[in-house]
Amino acid sequence: MKTFAPAALVAVLLTGCSTSTDASDERPGTGAPSAASGAAPRITVSVPDGATAQAPGTALRVTAAGGTLTQVNVAPEDGGDGKAHVRVPGTFDTSRRTWSAGRTLSPATTYAVHATATGPDGRHATTSTRFTTLTPRRTNRALLGPLEHQAVGIGMPVTLRFDHPVTDKAAVEKRLKVATTPKVSGSWGWVRDPLTGQERADWRPAAFWRPGTRVAVTAALSGVDTGGGRYLRRDISSTFRIGTAQITRVDLAAHRLTVTENGRTLRTMPVSGGGPATPTYNGTMVVLGKVPDIRMNSETVGLGDAYDMDVKWAVHLTTSGTYLHAAPWNAARIGNSNASHGCIGLTTSDAQWLYDRLRPGDPVITTGSTGRTVDAGNGLGDWNVPYGQWKGRSAL
């Protein structure tokens, strides 16, 4: 993990808007205030007043000599990127002589530091300084899911997708927090989409979510270097809830699909999966989204000119292009053979019924295909990794 050496501690003489200490109030030769003389405490900020281009990972500290800190406030001066009035959290040591920032700083931001201290005789000192963090030449962006206040299925992991690869995964993961009600244990794991190369960190429990669980995710990522000086510039957060336990099971050996809700069978319907040359994936896929009408072109998935058609009631399962959808052109094979190019086809009426019921996060578990198990990064295939191995994908 990349670290930044703290800036040298620089004494901030309390002048101008600061309370100064008289030379007569100091011990000879020490520069330190004397409690006996009643001198005011001296406050020091680790980043010099007026400093520019400070690294966001700078270890910001405020210290008091000859007294204890009573208050420290560090916050952005400007309102850019929604940072106005957002305090930098920090902690005091047990003696309250040192305050240390509890997070990275936002890039390209001017911070104001205001601190007060009190001496043994009750005399006060204050200081106000300001400094600016560097404007990075390279940045990264993270997208958090599910969306705020969304209701999702029991198979939906927390997802954090990055525009660029993350080489310092531990630095990122340390800034992530998942809180659930009721409490659920789980783990972050890193995956990469085998087709797009997009990297993401997902958080999932050991087994599917319990219906009704509420989840709050906080990613305090502003100022985190994802590797090689490529910084994240914003904090992001989301809260969502888990809906009913709706599971779709597809048996491609029997050419049947069964939908259950909270353990009760709702409907069984005939299907046709991928043929011998283009078999459907086995394993657990998760509904990514759905569209009532979509144009499917085989050239977009590397199958030449095999097909180019409008498809109804399409439920998206993998980034590589697996869907559940209506396949009226394949009516003779639905329920008795697998002959598609990898998708799972249904009659139009069954496809519409399924489309109306499924929502993002609902798991679709496929067995009986001659194909391989779907990769963890292809869509939301996290559940195909045993939980013990999943925890091993955490950078921490």
- Amino acid found at 386: P
Of 360, 146, 374, the residue nearest 238 (C-alpha): 146
pLDDT, the chain, mean: 89
**Secondary structure (DSSP) of 272-340:** B-B-TTSPPPBEEEE--EEEEEEEEEGGGGT-TTS-EEEEEEEEE--TT--EEEE-GGGTTTTTT---B
Of 7, 5, 97, the residue nearest 50 (C-alpha): 7
Confidence of residue 299 (pLDDT cuts 50, 70, 90): low
At 209-263, the pLDDT tens digits run: 999 999 999 999 999 999 999 999 999 999 999 999 999 999 999 999 999 999 9
pLDDT the model gives residue 309: 78
For the question of residue 17 being annotated catalytic, the response is no
Q: Confirm if 321 and 351 have CB atoms less than 8 A apart.
A: no
Of 117, 108, 38, 40, the residue nearest 78 (C-alpha): 108
Residue 39: pLDDT above 50?
yes
Structure-token match 């069984």, residue found: 268
Q: Confirm if 94 and 122 have CB atoms less than 8 A apart.
A: no
Considering the candidates 255, 316, 325, 341, report the single residue annotated as catalytic.
Answer: 325
Rounded Cα distance between 335 and 348, Å, is 13
Considering the candidates 255, 316, 341, 343, report the single residue annotated as catalytic.
Answer: 343
- Average pLDDT score over residue span 135-140: 97
Of 141, 143, 122, 142, the residue nearest 41 (C-alpha): 122
pLDDT the model gives residue 370: 96
Domains and CATH numbers, the chain: 10-132 (2.60.40.3780), 138-244 (2.60.40.3710), 246-384 (2.40.440.10)
Q: Tell me the pTM.
A: 0.85
Residue 383, beta-bridge partner list:
none
Tokens found for residue 214: 């509420």
At 254-280, the pLDDT tens digits run: 999 999 999 999 999 999 999 999 999
Pairing assessment for the beta strands 308-316 and 289-297 based on DSSP bridges: antiparallel
Residue 191: pLDDT above 90?
yes
Tokens found for residue 242: 């888990």
Q: Where are the alpha helices (DSSP H) in the chain?
A: 169-173, 348-357, 387-391
pLDDT the model gives residue 296: 81
Percent of the chain with pLDDT over 70: 86
Q: Confirm if 125 and 42 have CB atoms less than 8 A apart.
A: yes
CA 175 centroid distance within chain: 9
Question: Residue 211's CB: how many other CB atoms inside 10 A?
Answer: 15
Confidence of residue 303 (pLDDT cuts 50, 70, 90): low
Tokens found for residue 279: 């078999």
For the question of residue 85 being annotated catalytic, the response is no
Burial class (CB in 10 A: 0-12, 13-18, 19+), 91: exposed
At 69-89, the pLDDT tens digits run: 999 999 999 654 555 447 899
Output DSSP code: residue 225: B
Rounded Cα distance between 316 and 310, Å, is 15
Confidence of residue 307 (pLDDT cuts 50, 70, 90): low
